[in-house]
Amino acid sequence: MWKRIWNQTKDLIFKGDHSRLYQIVFMLLVVIFVLQALFPIYWLFISSIKPISELYDRDQALIPGSVNFSGYMNIWTFMDFSKNLLNSFIISGFATIIILFIGSLAGYVLGRTKIKGKTAIMVLILALSMFPQVSFLLPLFEAFSRYQLLDTHIAMILPDSAYLLPVGVLALRAFYSQIPQDLERAARVNGCTRLGALWRVIIPLSMPGFVSVGLMMFTLVYNEFFFANLFSMTKASQPAPVAVLRFELGYYQPWDLVTAASIVCMIPILLVMILAHKQVLKGLMMRGAV
């Protein structure tokens, strides 16, 4: 009997792409997955526009009765959140530029030239980026404190870009290796120098790759927590996500401000994801496929 039930469920799941039941189950599963992905984000948003009396209610309403935007006003006046947002943009912008510059040069070598030991170099680079961050945290902390770089943007730009560089190099390498060799050869025959061919032929052709990898890196640096948490102490360099964590009034977390600030600091990344999801997906696929 169990075998029959098992066979029937198997048929239900894996057979009959066009049966009614199959489609209903399929859509139901899709809806469940979509809901689990969206619910925390939805809840964050709903909580940020709830009036405070409903926010701390034991019986939470899934759809708020009334709307109150005071949290969005107060984060600028009470918490000076614009400074944190600016810090975030400075850090992720500069780190992305460093990654793209160094990564484009190295990706060219790893993707297009034929030299010995390419695989070894790649493996070594990847291995370096996989060690836990604590394994180089303390010497970096000492060095930064010696040169008074703690609590500046540089203290986060340098480790973030170094830690994410290998991923960027590998993704860029994948984009480079898609460009046909003949194009480069044609440019060289027609009198382009080496760097000229790189600058005029290869880099314009891999612009989509740069956009994908750049957006991905921007998101990763923006979301990064480890160095942002440990190397920033005050408003001078604290990026927005870490500042959200530190919103405290005494021992009490003002959830209306925290939720509003979370939504605000997620907006840039969500915009990137929604407007450029194709590019980001492509970049991530490149990283996943390696």
Partner 1 sequence: MRERPEKPEGPPAFPLRLPKKIGGIFGSFDLWVENLSEGRFSVLLLSPLIIFLIAIIGIPIARTIWLSLHQYLPARPWMEYKFIGLVNYVSLLRDPAFMKSLIHSFYFTVLNIILMLLLAIPAALLVSREFRGRIAVRTILLLPWAVPIAVAGTTFKFMYNGEYGVINYLLKSIGIIKEYVPWLMSYDHVFDWMYSSTAMNAIISAAVWRTLPFSILMILAALESIPPDYYKMAKVNGANSWQIFRHVTFPLILPGITIVVLWRAITAMRIYGIIDSMTAGGPGRITETLQILTIRTFFVSRDLGKGTAMAVMTMLFTLVFIIFYLALLQYVQRKRR
Tell which one of 230, 231, 254, 257 touches partner 1 (CB under 8 A).
230
What's the closest the beta carbon of residue 181 comes to partner 1, in angstroms?
14
Tell which one of 139, 180, 204, 250 touches partner 1 (CB under 8 A).
139
**Binding flag, residue 127, partner 1 (CB under 8 A):** yes
Tell which one of 81, 163, 175, 176 touches partner 1 (CB under 8 A).
163
- Given the structure tokens 């964050």, which residue do they identify? 44
Near partner 1 in 235-254, by CB under 8 A: 240-242, 244-245
Mask of contacts with partner 1, 167-186, x by CB under 8 A? --x-----------------
What's the closest the beta carbon of residue 82 comes to partner 1, in angstroms?
17
What is the per-residue DSSP string for the chain? -HHHHHHHHHHHHHS-TT-HHHHHHHHHHHHHHHHHHHHHHHHHHHHHTS-HHHHT-SS--SS-SS---HHHHHHHHTS-HHHHHHHHHHHHHHHHHHHHHHHHHHHHHHHH---TTHHHHHHHHHHHHHS-GGGGHHHHHHHHHHTT-TTSSHHHHHHHHHHHHHHHHHHHHHHHTTS-HHHHHHHHHTT--HHHHIIIIIHHHTHHHHHHHHHHHHHHHHH--HHHHHS--STTT--HHHHHHT--BTTB--HHHHHHHHHHHHHHHHHHHHHTHHHHHHHHHHHHH-
Residue 231 tokens read as 């190397």
What's the closest the beta carbon of residue 78 comes to partner 1, in angstroms?
17
Whole-angstrom distance, CA of residue 222 vs CA of residue 228: 9
- Number of chain positions touching partner 1 (CB under 8 A): 102
**Binding flag, residue 84, partner 1 (CB under 8 A):** no
Tell which one of 125, 149, 179, 205 touches partner 1 (CB under 8 A).
125
Near partner 1 in 189-228, by CB under 8 A: 191, 193-196, 199, 219, 222-226
Near partner 1 in 254-273, by CB under 8 A: 255, 258-259, 262, 265-266, 269-270, 272-273
Near partner 1 in 86-115, by CB under 8 A: 101-103, 105-106, 108-109, 113-115
User: Which is nearer to partner 1, 76 or 141 (by Cβ)?
Assistant: 141
Instruction: Please identify, among the stretches 54-62, 66-74, 145-153, 206-214, the one whose residues bind partner 1 according to the rule CB under 8 A.
Output: 54-62
Phi, psi of 125 (to 5 degrees): -65, -45
Instruction: Please identify, among the stretches 43-51, 147-155, 178-186, 206-214, the one whose residues bind partner 1 according to the rule CB under 8 A.
Output: 43-51
Near partner 1 in 3-32, by CB under 8 A: 10-11, 13-15, 26, 29-30
- Given the structure tokens 């970096």, which residue do they identify? 140
